[in-house]
């Protein structure tokens, strides 16, 4: 089986990105932790992908992203690596998304460890991902991500994109594109009330 770290993430494709704390350990203990992680996502991922949905839970998280096109990624790679044309393996142009994600994990883990007086790895590596192959699967993934909170109260959960997508508040999420997948906001909300048949 090929090492997932050496499997390129293709441009112009959707991916369900998910991961958890090492051995299921808690990785978000308070509101500050959640907000810090979300800010790191904005700082590091918006240049390489569009974010369609997310949900952060105490010991794991889910993201649905669409990777930018080749031209946009090439520009990021040029500004990130000394020679993006000749770099190989984990430092190549095809792995720019993974590099940005590593920055999130490293920065967040260092801050969390310092705050909680702990040492060592916090989040499993490499991060898990599943390419989304169809529009139907894409809708199911969005619903699955938002249905993660175990209390089932989507409207009141603070650390998912569900409320933001239904609101008119400023956001970096691809809100209009998500709503379009469900045709309208009412149908978006209606579809989230049904259990979804989603397979990893």
Along the chain (200 residues), what's the average pLDDT of each consecutive run of 10 residues? 60 95 96 97 94 97 94 76 48 72 94 96 92 95 91 82 95 98 96 85
Tell me if 175 is assigned to some domain: yes
Tell me if 184 is assigned to some domain.
yes
In a domain, 2, yes or no: no
Q: How many CB atoms lie within 10 A of CB 158?
A: 10
With respect to residue 49, please indicate whether it lies within any of the assigned structural domains.
yes
- Number of alpha helices (DSSP H) and beta strands (DSSP E) in the chain: 7, 4
What does the pLDDT read at residue 93? 58
Is residue 153 one of the residues assigned to a domain? yes
Quote the pLDDT of residue 149.
85
pLDDT the model gives residue 36 = 97
Structurally, the chain folds into a number of domains equal to 1
Of 159, 184, 155, 145, nearest in space to 53 by CA: 145
The order of strands in the sheet holding 14-20 is: 49-57, 60-67, 14-20, 128-132
Residue 197, in any domain of the structure? no
Rounded Cα distance between 1 and 72, Å, is: 30
- The domain that holds 133 is classified in CATH as 3.30.70.1290
**Residue 157 falls within a domain, yes or no?**
yes
pTM: 0.88
Structural domain including 44 reads 10-191
Does 3 reside within a domain?
no
Q: How far apart are alpha carbons 43 and 19 in whole angstroms?
A: 19
pLDDT score, position 44: 93
């Amino acid at each position: 089986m090929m090492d997932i770290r050496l499997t390129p993430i293709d441009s112009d494709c959707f991916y369900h990105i998910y991961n958890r704390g090492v051995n299921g350990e808690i990785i978000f203990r308070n509101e500050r932790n959640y907000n810090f992680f979300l800010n790191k996502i904005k700082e590091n991922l918006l240049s390489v992908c569009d974010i369609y949905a997310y949900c952060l839970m105490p010991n794991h998280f889910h993201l649905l992203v669409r990777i930018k096109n080749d031209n946009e990624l090439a520009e990021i790679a040029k500004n990130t690596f000394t020679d993006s044309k000749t770099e190989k393996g984990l430092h190549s142009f095809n792995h720019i998304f993974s590099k940005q994600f590593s920055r999130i994990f490293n920065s967040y883990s260092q801050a969390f460890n310092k705050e909680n007086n702990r040492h060592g790895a916090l989040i499993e590596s490499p991060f898990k991902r599943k390419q989304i192959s169809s529009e139907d699967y894409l809708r199911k993934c969005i619903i699955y991500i938002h249905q993660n909170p175990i209390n089932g109260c989507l409207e009141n959960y603070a650390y998912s994109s569900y409320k933001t997508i239904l609101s008119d508040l400023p956001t970096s999420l691809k809100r209009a594109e998500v709503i379009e997948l469900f045709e309208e906001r009412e149908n978006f909300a209606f579809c989230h009330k049904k259990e979804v048949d989603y397979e990893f």
